[in-house]
Amino acid sequence: MMQPTGRPDYNWQEFGTKESFEKMKSDRTLQTQAWSKRLQKTGYTTRTLPVALEKAGAVGVVSSLWSAGFGVNKIFSAYTKIIPSVDIALEDYGLLYRLTESNSKPVISIKTDSKETGVVPTFNTIAEIKGTEKPDEYVMLSAHFDSWDGASGATDNGTGTLTMMEAMRMLKKFYPNPKRTILVGHWGSEEQGLNGSRAFVEDHPEIINNIQALFNQDNGTGRLTNIAGQGFLQSYKYIGNWLTAVPDSLKDGLTTTFPGSPGGGGSDYASFVAAGVPAFSLSSLSWSYGTYTWHTNRDSYDKIVFDDLKKNVILAAIMAYMASEDDSKTSREKIMLPIDPKTGMPGNWPVQKSPTRKGGID
């Protein structure tokens, strides 16, 4: 729908009167409901309508997915296969929408460059520091290498990749003979459904069955603020023990949540959790990630906060070191999940899923 305002809510809260802010939100709610009903009347959804338009002979589909901040739109997959799908910024889309609604029959000219390259391979990039005492047991660092093309993918997930590469460099320099093998996985095709990490899990059971712990970073550029137990009952023991080696200056603002609940998606650690691997997300401070850099046209190099990343690198390296040195093997005992109110039965642990290979082409 056409948004009633291009100003984010925090801007209204700072400068608007309470009455005007509440009126805008009320108007927006009504417009959202009206747009939803309008779409329902077509018999299609936001996913199926572009496909129907393509089949009906449309030359292209334009839309706008505002990210609720100044000058930012979200980027996700197109649903058409032959005709172009183009996202138009809120400001221009609003004008186009108003002209169309008033039957002014606007004409737009769009120039896009693309090239069909056929089926090409996508890769996971894996590196290792071989263990000396228990080479067939593993500690993993994890981040995804792919990104959307609206910007350079700096915080989703260049920062995660930088963090894990630098942690491995430090470990290689200062801890070249670890007890367990330390691996780092930079996953491909995360944005299309965790395909790279799911492929690794499916293809390497000999590693999956012997992972001591995995640490994944994939949500921005800020200092690490939370490590959750992902539903592993004993995770508080080993995570808590490893964290004792981390200097207080690096733990400032860091919280832990145990035992937590198993993540079913969202980032690559979930691929491993589903296979029963103690895999943990190193969650970081927002820096307006959800609005301004996650899947947007603003996710560029200048948004990286390197002071925060340096702290994250050291913390990740220490956790990998402690997990490698631990004399005990981590427990994979799982919690009993809470009752699902829909079924009256305990919830189910996430199911391991196969990756989509070859882009879904048979």
Q: Is residue 219 part of a domain?
A: yes
d(CA 153, CA 156): 5
For residues 42 and 182, membership in a common domain is answered with no
Q: Is residue 120 part of a domain?
A: no
For residues 299 and 161, membership in a common domain is answered with yes
* pLDDT-derived band at 119, boundaries 50, 70, 90: confident
For residues 239 and 322, membership in a common domain is answered with yes
For residues 249 and 333, membership in a common domain is answered with yes
Model confidence pLDDT, tens digit, residues 161-189:
999 999 999 999 999 999 999 999 999 99
Q: Which of 280, 276, 279 is nearest to 332 (CA)?
A: 276
d(CA 319, CA 120): 36
The enclosing H or E element of 215 equals strand 211-216
Mean pLDDT, residues 315-333: 98
d(CA 70, CA 53): 30
Q: How many CB atoms lie within 10 A of CB 113?
A: 4
For residues 27 and 157, membership in a common domain is answered with no
Q: Is residue 173 part of a domain?
A: yes
Q: Is the pLDDT of residue 99 over 70?
A: yes
Q: Is residue 109 part of a domain?
A: no
**211-216 and 134-144 strand pairing:** parallel
For residues 68 and 137, membership in a common domain is answered with no
Model confidence pLDDT, tens digit, residues 50-98:
999 999 999 999 999 999 999 999 999 999 989 999 999 999 999 999 9
For residues 84 and 129, membership in a common domain is answered with no
- Alpha helix ranges (H) inside the chain: 9-15, 18-41, 48-55, 90-101, 159-174, 195-203, 205-208, 235-243, 248-251, 269-273, 306-325
d(CA 18, CA 229): 41
Q: Is residue 360 part of a domain?
A: no
When divided into structural domains, the chain yields a total of 2
d(CA 294, CA 159): 12
Model confidence pLDDT, tens digit, residues 256-301:
999 999 999 999 999 999 999 999 999 999 999 999 999 999 999 9
* pLDDT-derived band at 358, boundaries 50, 70, 90: confident
pLDDT of residue 362: 67
Residue 225, judged by CB atoms within 10 A of its CB (0-12, 13-18, 19+), counts as middle
For residues 76 and 190, membership in a common domain is answered with no
Domain boundary among 48, 67, 101: 101
d(CA 201, CA 130): 20
For residues 97 and 207, membership in a common domain is answered with no
For residues 130 and 96, membership in a common domain is answered with no
Q: Is residue 260 part of a domain?
A: yes
Contact between 156 and 232 (Cβ < 8 Å):
no
Q: Is residue 1 part of a domain?
A: no
55, two tokens: 């089949």
For residues 74 and 159, membership in a common domain is answered with no
> pTM (2 decimals)?
0.94
Model confidence pLDDT, tens digit, residues 2-42:
999 999 999 999 999 999 999 999 999 999 999 999 999 99
Q: Kindly report the CATH number assigned to the domain that includes residue 198.
A: 3.40.630.10
Q: Is residue 350 part of a domain?
A: no
Model confidence pLDDT, tens digit, residues 205-260:
999 999 999 999 999 999 999 999 999 999 999 999 999 999 999 999 999 999 99
DSSP secondary structure string for all residues of 56-77: TT-S-EEE--B-SSTT-BB---
Task: Reduce the DSSP state of residue 306 to 3 states and report it.
Answer: helix
d(CA 162, CA 165): 5
For residues 15 and 129, membership in a common domain is answered with no
d(CA 175, CA 158): 25
Q: Which range marks the domain in which residue 53 is found?
A: 9-101
